[in-house]
Amino acid sequence: MEHTKFERFALKPYIIEAITKELKFFEPTEIQERLMPSILKGESVIGQSQTGTGKTHAYLLPLLNKVDPTQREVQFVITAPTRELATQIYHEVVKITAFSKEDIVTKCLIGGTDKQRTIEKLKSQPHIVVGTPGRINDLIKENALIVNKTRSLVVDEADLMLDMGFIKEVDMVASQMPEELQILVFSATIPEKLKPFLKKYLENPKFTHVAPKQVTAAKIEHVLVPTKHRNKKKLVFDILKGFNPFIAIVFTNTKKNADEVADALLENGLKVGRIHGDLSPRDRKKMMKQINDLEFQYVVATDLAARGIDIKGVSHVINYELPTTDLDFYIHRVGRTARAGSSGVAVTIYEQSDEDALNKLEKLGVDFVHRDYIDGEWKDLDDRKKRQKRKKTPDEVDALAKSIVQKPKKVKPGYKKKMTREMEQIKKRKRKIDNRKK
């Protein structure tokens, strides 16, 4: 068997085999290195890290190591805010447990599936449960899912769970579990409103914050393209055709815009998938399968897809518009590309009114290049702040002041002094404005 640096964690042989043959991991990521020993010891942890840092396997590998296949009871539960994310985690579990010689049963419990059929299937309890908090809570209330001996609970994407209003259900699920429960919380941010939940269930958790070395992956090129009063849908189509991506995701802020952009691209002959909140659970599941089966080269999505959905092989991300409610979504959007060390391109089409948002992103460390796509070619543009940065020479300021302060037609005594005073005031105001813009 090939060697892997995960061997030092003393994981079961079948897990090491899965790591080398299926996952093909050689070296643990920072969050795995820091949290796996604590999780193996049964300690509760809070892992704060961005998407793409390897957090899923940071909890999966040590939890799977502790599963006892001879005990047919729910041993650990993983909650995720979206059905797509829950399904992805479930598939990761199955990939690893497939290497076990003893049967390890995992169930994916999510909304949008037949509840009665699920209850029937739970007559024999699984070892592992992955799902959305609402459905897991429902099945516990129906006495179909028995969690009174569960040893570990994972709360993945906890801040998104909070945003979507699911923390109450997670709380209800946790309250049905034993007191000495190991809780593993993973979140990109730790908002103030999440702290009461953490305080209630975690006494002395190990807290690990894996700060990104850069706010976005190192190999993403961030390109800014000005709208310049052009038809944005046509511009997106031209850019996509020029890129000929492996897979490109176009992000919009609303479902309405997502549908309009997708329809425009379809009319121009592109095969386009779409992901947004108006799709039924069945349609969303079907769409994710088609995307992962590479049936679509182009996907139009709202921010639902920016977090909690992992589409393999995204080479390009296009921001049809900048996120309006939360700029963090820019980071989550572009994080769909350049994963696992590969490179990617993120193009943002911007309006003049986006200047404040762009400045904030630059302060966060996003390094934009300014380009335009004209007649099938990329052209470098001047720094978009060039006009703001250019200092007026004293002569130009004088000329401006003179053009505003006109010599009166009827000359009164002392008019020269009055004109000089007015010009000085204008020059002062102008300097103040220029200084503010710096």
| pTM, 2 dp | 0.62
Alpha helices (H) in 244-327, listed in sequence order: 255-267, 281-292
Model confidence at 402, in pLDDT bands (50, 70, 90)? Answer: low
Given a cut of 80, whether residue 302 has pLDDT beyond it is yes
Q: Could you tell me if 277 and 255 are in contact, meaning their C-beta atoms sit under 8 angstroms apart?
A: yes
155-169, 257-271, 409-423: the lowest-pLDDT one = 409-423
Sequence-ordered list of residues with C-beta below 8 angstroms from that of 221, at least 6 positions apart, any chain: 343, 344, 345, 346, 369
The answer, yes or no, to whether residue 387 has pLDDT greater than 60, is no
pLDDT in tens, 284-300: 778 888 988 889 999 99
- What mean pLDDT value characterizes the chain? 84
Three-state secondary structure call for residue 201: helix
The residue-averaged pLDDT of 61-88 equals 94
Residue 406 has pLDDT above 70, yes or no: no
The residue-averaged pLDDT of 365-369 equals 86
Given a cut of 70, whether residue 51 has pLDDT beyond it is no
pLDDT of residue 393: 52
d(CA 306, CA 51): 10
**Is it the case that residue 434 has pLDDT exceeding 70?**
no
DSSP character string of 278-299: TS-HHHHHHHHHHHHTT--SEE
Cα distances (angstroms) measured from residue 53 to each of 119, 219, 339: 35, 15, 9
